[in-house]
């Protein structure tokens, strides 16, 4: 599938934007931009590739690199440099499979799905980075999802930029033990791909997950996370979320996860420390992988617990 795509990266200390997704080892032109320049272009233009090129690429300093150059550090889509200027959140229980195959009825009062806050944008991990989780999870689950990207203008009005894909790793076992523990359940790292696909949220997104342990395939299965697989309509969910002023702060970037299909957990598989999760979004030609790492932070000192440290 060939769709207009762009990305941002840091190269030799400066932020750049690139268009398309070249094959590894092929030339790639990067256009130098200021922090927030590309995000602002989604506010001032119609968000098309041609308009974005005119806004950020025309007249910009350029450099040609080789795709995969280790000096090119990819970034989550539109991630601001300032900590706290981007939020990662998402919806739960959105798939038709979890609603007996039905779709939400047309008309009438909208009953929104449950929503969760995952973290700040700079908590996002990129493909190849480890996904840290608490040292003693009950039962982890990988969650291949579509992530919509929005930029708020100076008045706080959200402007849709495009979409990317992610793995919203979480401790579903903790959630099932007590739904009130869901905020804890979500305190696992999430990966997003750096590619921003331009255009409307996708209706069809299909692919396959492979989980490797000790170099061998331990589990694999398919997934569908496009709009047509959801019980709720994407527009209804997003409109409801942006009715809250807290997510409409001027200049804020929002990554909004649309929910996941059933996965390895539902077939009885349990993700272990060191497992490598590879997600192949076959419908869009995106493949990414991350290794899970159980982390045991050092215990707090008595003084810290008492609040005197």
Question: What are residue 266's phi and psi, to 5 degrees?
Answer: -70, -15
- Among 74, 95, 111, the domain-final residue is 74
Placement of tokens 């903790």 in the chain: 174
Domain membership flag for residue 135: yes
Q: Note whether 146 and 225 are within 8 A (CB).
A: yes
Same domain, residue pair 36 and 131: no
Domain membership flag for residue 70: yes
Same domain, residue pair 63 and 210: no
Q: Note whether 148 and 253 are within 8 A (CB).
A: no
Q: What is the pLDDT of residues 102-117, one digit of tens each?
A: 999 888 788 999 999 9
* Number of domain units in the chain: 2
Domain range holding 49? 5-74
Domain membership flag for residue 308: no
The predicted pLDDT at position 280 comes to: 98
Same domain, residue pair 145 and 263: yes
Same domain, residue pair 66 and 95: no
- Among 74, 109, 124, the domain-final residue is 74
What are the beta bridge partners of residue 81? none
Q: Report helix, strand or coil for 145.
A: strand
Same domain, residue pair 245 and 153: yes
The reported pTM is: 0.95
Domain membership flag for residue 300: no
Q: Which residues of 235-253 are buried (b: 16+ CB within 10 A; e: fewer)?
A: eebbebbbeeeebbeebbb
Same domain, residue pair 156 and 239: yes
Same domain, residue pair 254 and 121: yes
Domain membership flag for residue 302: no
Domain membership flag for residue 142: yes
Same domain, residue pair 235 and 140: yes
Same domain, residue pair 19 and 105: no
- Among 74, 95, 112, the domain-final residue is 74
CATH number where 143 lies: 3.90.850.10
Q: At what angle do helices 37-44 and 49-56 cross, to 10 degrees?
A: 130
Same domain, residue pair 116 and 166: yes
Domain membership flag for residue 9: yes
Residues in the chain, pLDDT under 70: 1, 305, 307-309
Same domain, residue pair 131 and 221: yes
Same domain, residue pair 234 and 131: yes
């Amino acid at each position: 599938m060939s769709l207009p795509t762009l990305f941002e990266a840091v190269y030799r200390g400066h932020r750049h934007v690139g268009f398309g997704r070249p094959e590894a080892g092929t030339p790639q032109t990067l256009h130098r931009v200021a922090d927030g320049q590309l995000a602002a272009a989604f506010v001032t233009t119609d968000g098309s590739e041609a308009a974005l090129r005119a806004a950020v690429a025309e007249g910009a300093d350029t450099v040609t690199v080789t795709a995969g150059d280790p000096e090119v550090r990819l970034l989550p889509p539109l991630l601001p440099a300032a900590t706290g200027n981007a939020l990662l959140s998402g919806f739960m229980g959105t798939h038709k499979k979890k609603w007996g195959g039905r779709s939400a009825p047309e008309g009438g009062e909208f009953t929104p799905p449950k929503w969760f806050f995952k973290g700040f944008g700079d908590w996002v991990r990129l493909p190849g980075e480890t996904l840290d989780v608490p040292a003693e999870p009950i039962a982890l689950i990988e969650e291949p999802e579509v992530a919509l990207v929005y930029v708020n203008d100076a008045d706080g009005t959200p402007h849709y930029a495009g979409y990317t894909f992610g793995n919203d790793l979480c401790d579903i076992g903790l959630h099932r033990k007590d739904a009130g523990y869901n905020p804890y359940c979500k305190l696992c790292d999430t990966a997003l791909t750096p590619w921003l696909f331009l255009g409307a949220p996708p209706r069809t997104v299909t692919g396959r997950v492979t989980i490797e342990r000790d170099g061998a395939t331990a589990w694999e299965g398919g997934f569908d996370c496009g709009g047509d697989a959801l019980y709720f309509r994407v527009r209804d969910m997003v409109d409801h979320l942006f009715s809250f002023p807290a997510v409409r702060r001027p200049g804020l970037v929002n990554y909004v996860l649309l929910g996941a299909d059933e996965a390895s957990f539902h077939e009885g598989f349990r993700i272990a420390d060191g497992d490598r999760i590879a997600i192949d979004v076959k419908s869009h030609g995106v493949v990414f992988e991350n290794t899970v790492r159980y982390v045991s932070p050092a215990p707090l000192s008595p003084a810290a617990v008492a609040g005197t440290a």
